[in-house]
Structure 1
Amino acid sequence: MTTIESLLIERSHNTCELCKTAQNLSVYAVPPTEQQTADNSILACKTCIDQIEKQEQLDAAHWTTLSETMWSDHAAVQVVAWRMLSRLRQESWAADNLDMLYLDDDVLEWAKKTGDHEQDATVQFHQDSNGTRLYDGDTVVLIKTLDVKGSSVTAKLGTVVKNIRLVQDNVAQVEGKIEGQTIVILTKYLRKG
C-alpha cells in the first residue's frame, strides 16, 4: 500500500517542494481540501509551513527559491507558490515571478479560494512591551499599576500573572487572573516573566 507521504517523498526526491531543504519535512494539505490526496498536498519543511500558516513572520529571503519551484508540474505546489508570491508582492523579485507564473483557470481558482493572497506579508503576534512574543500559558509581569474596570481590584506594578490566554481577535490583549478575577490586560503594560 502506497501512502500519500511516500508518493510525495518520491515526487520531491525527499526535499521540500517549495524551498528544497531536506530537513523537518512533513505532508501539508493545501487548503481548502475535503479529502487529502497526493494531488492536493505537498511535502514541505517546518519553516515553510509555519510561514504559510502565519505561525511565524514571513521571511522574504527564505522564499527566493520560489523562482525555481513555482515551475513545478504539480498544481498543489503551483497554488502555494502563487499564494506566497502574492503575499510577498512588495518584493520586486516576487512581483516579477508572479507576473511570469501562468496557472490554468482551475488551479488559479483554487489558489484564490482562501483569500490569503490578498493580505500582505506581515503577521501580527501578541507581544509584550519589549516586543517579545507571547504564547498561551506564559507568565507575565505588570509594568504599570492598573485599575480594573468594573471592580475594586487594583493590579499593582510588578504583579505576576501566570498562565495567560491570548485574546484571539485582538493581538493587543491577553486574559489573566489577578486576585482570582479574570481580566483583560493590554500587552503594552506587560513584560514576559
Structure 2
Amino acid sequence: MSLQQDLENRSGNKCELCTSTANLSVYDVKPTITGGGGVDGSVLACETCITQIDNPEETDANHWRCLNDSMWSEYRGVKVVAWRMLSRLRAEGWPQDLLDMMYLEDDDLRFAKESGDHLDDSEKIIHRDANGAILEAGDSVVLIKDLKVKGSSLVAKQGTAVRRISLDHENAKFIEGKVGPTQIVIITDYVKKMADKE
C-alpha cells in the first residue's frame, strides 16, 4: 500500500488538519532527517493548509481555528504541524490558549521546534549559503571550495554534494552533513544550495 493510501485510510480521506476533502496530498513534515516523512512523519493535508504552512506570509489565522480539534490527534506528524502553526500564530491570542493545553512528548517537541516557528523573528537564526539563499534542514548543498576536515586527513573536494543537511540552531554560519561516511560541520560561506530535483 502506498503512503498516500495509508494516510487516506488513517484520515478517512479528509485533511488531517482542517477536515477538508478537496485537493488532498501527502505533506512530509520537515525536516525529514530528524523525524519527518513516512507514515508517522507525514500528514494528509489539503492544498489550503499546505500552502499556508509553507508560505507564512499567506497565513489566514481564522483558517487555523480547526487546530482546536486536530491538535488532539494521536499521530505525530499532525501534532507537530498543529504545534508549529499555533506557535506561529500565538500573537493572535487564542492559539496561545490552545498551546497551553497541548502536550507533546520530549522527542516530538524537539522535532516540532526544528522549524523555529516558536521563535520571534528577532530570535531566529537564518542560515544562508554563499549566494545569500536561505538554507533549511533537509536541503542539499554543493561545496564551492576544497575543505580540510578537522581531525582527519580527509579533504572534501569542491563540487561535492552534501545531502539532507541539518542546521546548528545557535550559529547561523554552521551546518552539518555527511561527506562520504563522515558527518562534518561545514561553514555556510563555502556552500551553494542545490535546486530541488523533486
Q: TM-score, normalised by structure 2?
A: 0.58
1:117 offset after TM fit, Å? 2.8
Partner of 2:70: 69
1:119 offset after TM fit, Å? 4.5
* 1:105-162 CA distance string (max 9 Å, x none): 0000000012133257xxxxxxxxxxxxxxxxxxxxxxxxxxxxxxxxxxxxxxxxxx
| Consecutive unaligned residues in structure 2, runs of 5 or more | 122-131, 135-198
Partner of 1:85: 86
Partner of 2:23: 24
Q: Hey, what's the Cα distance between the residues in 1 that align with 2:110 and 2:27?
A: 19
CA contact (8 A) 2:73 2:79 kept: yes
SS at match of 2:90: coil
1:10 offset after TM fit, Å? 0.5
Amino acid at match of 2:93: S
Q: Hey, what's the Cα distance between the residues in 1 that align with 2:37 and 2:82?
A: 19
CA contact (8 A) 2:86 2:98 kept: yes
CA contact (8 A) 1:50 1:56 kept: no
Partner of 1:43: 44
Partner of 2:100: 99
* 1:72-111 CA distance string (max 9 Å, x none): 0001100000000001101222110000000000000000
RMSD (Å), alpha carbons: 1.9
Q: Hey, what's the Cα distance between the residues in 2 that align with 1:93 and 1:73?
A: 22
Partner of 1:111: 112
1:36 offset after TM fit, Å? 2.9
Q: Hey, what's the Cα distance between the residues in 1 that align with 2:96 and 2:85?
A: 11
Q: Hey, what's the Cα distance between the residues in 1 that align with 2:44 and 2:88?
A: 20
CA contact (8 A) 2:15 2:44 kept: yes
Change (3 A) 1:24 1:96: same
Q: TM-score, normalised by structure 1?
A: 0.59
Partner of 2:53: 52
CA contact (8 A) 1:18 1:69 kept: yes
Moved more, 29-38 or 15-24: 29-38
Q: Hey, what's the Cα distance between the residues in 1 that align with 2:117 and 2:72?
A: 21
* 1:4-53 CA distance string (max 9 Å, x none): 10000001100001111000100000011037311110000111001100
For the pair shown, the structure with the greater C-alpha radius of gyration is 1
Residues 1:14 and 2:21 are matched in the alignment: no
Q: Hey, what's the Cα distance between the residues in 1 that align with 2:56 and 2:113?
A: 21
| Consecutive unaligned residues in structure 1, runs of 5 or more | 121-166, 170-193
Q: Hey, what's the Cα distance between the residues in 2 that align with 1:54 and 1:48?
A: 10
Q: Percent identity?
A: 52
SS at match of 2:4: helix
